[in-house]
Amino acid sequence: MRGRFIASLASLLVLTFSLLALTGCKEQPTSHPQSVSSSSIVTAQLVQTHSHLYYSGSITPLITTNALSPVDGRITDRLFQYGDQINKGQPLAIINSTQLADDYHQNVNGFLEKKDAMQHQAFLFKGTAKLWEAQVIAKYEYLQGKSALETSRLEYLQAKYELEKVLKKAGVNPADIENLTLDKTNEVDNLLKKQFSHIVVTANSSGVALYPSNTSHSKSDDELNEEIEVGREVKTGQLVLAIGDQHGLSTHIQVSEIDVNRLKVGMPVKVTGDAFPEIILDGRIQSIASQAQRSESGDSNVGQFDVIIEIPKVMLDQLKVIHVGMSCKVNISIENAKSIMLPIQAVWERGGQHYVTVFDSKTKQRFDRAVMTGQTTLSSVAILSGVHEGEQIVV
């Protein structure tokens, strides 16, 4: 009797373990104490989402034109203040150029000498040509005279070209000199007495007078970008004043190498500022640098890419409160790939793994399923894998 009881007990234990093993092969019903009726259920759907990148910058003109020094010289008067409104054609600075005076005298003399030499060779060649026609001289003498005339013409044209370059800088009409000859000594002397102590640099566009850029990285660049002051030496082609056209605005931001590939030229952006809180400017990405800049402080090895934002249209009433140099904030909205978004409450964690509870409408059972999560918002989280569109999830 006792043996039968032990045998029956052993059979019951084997059957129990077999049932447990079969049950373990299936998705486990959730151990959450709440019932389905007390929980809300959502249907998984693919949703289009956007993420936002935020940056800080400062307002700059969309277009900048440069007024350059036409000569080497010294500033004797500055006729503007940085930040002023500048009108096209407005005088900006007066330059005294001793170098231009030297170049002028040298080129005037050189031009007149070459002109006189060419005229002399032309006179001689007339006689040579007549002698050649009369067959009085050999052919090589004729060709020698012709070559001398052509050489003198080339030298004259070169001298004329050099003179015209100087006259353009000096603001002198070339016709005043090209009709002169060395025998007109009084007129030549008056020309050579001309001094260049009043070279006027004028604005070639209208806009705001911008302070020099401080983005240079070398000492020589820093010197060229200093503010123009009376007494300062300037070189030909050196910046006298940058003029910003405010019909449009722009700003410059730096984007890390982590995010730069998410940006594309032409992407729309929103620009706001603490100084103009009620205004939202519509802009777009104008350019993205192809090379990264490293942090100057050396604190980070993450490359930063220069990105230019353009704001092509700004209303006149907006320009009354938005000024060059003001700080601004840039909001770039990026469209993400469609993904399943679930309420944050639907996702829970166990042992470092995220799970959701799937509700089977046919069996009325709930099952825990491991998932991979992605982007999280204030109220929802993206599910990258583990949940299929149309499945019902318990919240």
- pLDDT tens profile 119-131: 999 999 999 999 9
Do the strands 233-234 and 199-202 form a parallel or antiparallel pair, or are they unpaired? unpaired
Q: How many CB atoms lie within 10 A of CB 98?
A: 14
What is the predicted pLDDT for the residue at 58?
Answer: 94
- Residues 6 or more apart whose CB falls under 8 angstroms from that of 389 comprise 44, 45, 46, 340
What is the predicted pLDDT for the residue at 181?
Answer: 67
Q: What is the CATH number of domain 54-95+200-335?
A: 2.40.50.100
Interatomic CA distance for residues 95 and 237, integer angstroms: 13
What is the predicted pLDDT for the residue at 149?
Answer: 94
Interatomic CA distance for residues 294 and 257, integer angstroms: 10
Mean pLDDT for 218-243 is: 78
Interatomic CA distance for residues 286 and 265, integer angstroms: 6
**DSSP symbols for 150-172:** HHHHHHHHHHHHHHHHHHHHHT-
What is the predicted pLDDT for the residue at 354?
Answer: 94
Mean pLDDT for 37-64 is: 86
How much of the chain is in helix, strand and coil states, percent to nearest 5? Answer: 30, 35, 35
What is the predicted pLDDT for the residue at 378?
Answer: 83
- For the chain, the structural domain boundaries read 25-49+337-394, 54-95+200-335, 98-193
What is the predicted pLDDT for the residue at 165?
Answer: 85
Mean pLDDT for 6-32 is: 43
Interatomic CA distance for residues 194 and 149, integer angstroms: 32
Of 68, 128, 70, nearest to 99 by C-alpha is: 70
How does the average pLDDT of the chain come out, rounded?
Answer: 83
Three-class DSSP category at 268: strand
User: Taking CA 98 as the corner, what is the angle to CA 92 and CA 101, rounded to the nearest 5 degrees?
Assistant: 100
In this chain, the answer to whether the domains covering 25-49+337-394 and 54-95+200-335 adopt an identical fold is no
Residue with tokens 């003001």: 326
What is the predicted pLDDT for the residue at 247?
Answer: 85
What is the predicted pLDDT for the residue at 10?
Answer: 46
Q: What is the CATH number of domain 25-49+337-394?
A: 2.40.420.20
What is the predicted pLDDT for the residue at 189?
Answer: 63
What is the predicted pLDDT for the residue at 277?
Answer: 92
Mean pLDDT for 194-218 is: 77
Mean pLDDT for 209-217 is: 69
pTM of the model: 0.61
Q: What amino acid occupies position 133?
A: E
Interatomic CA distance for residues 186 and 124, integer angstroms: 27
Residue 148 Cα to chain centre, angstroms: 56
Mean pLDDT for 164-185 is: 73
What is the predicted pLDDT for the residue at 371?
Answer: 94
Does pLDDT of 3 surpass 70? no
Q: What amino acid occupies position 48?
A: Q
What is the predicted pLDDT for the residue at 188?
Answer: 62
Least confident of 68-82, 158-172, 221-235, 336-350: 221-235
Q: What amino acid occupies position 25?
A: C
Mean pLDDT for 206-233 is: 72
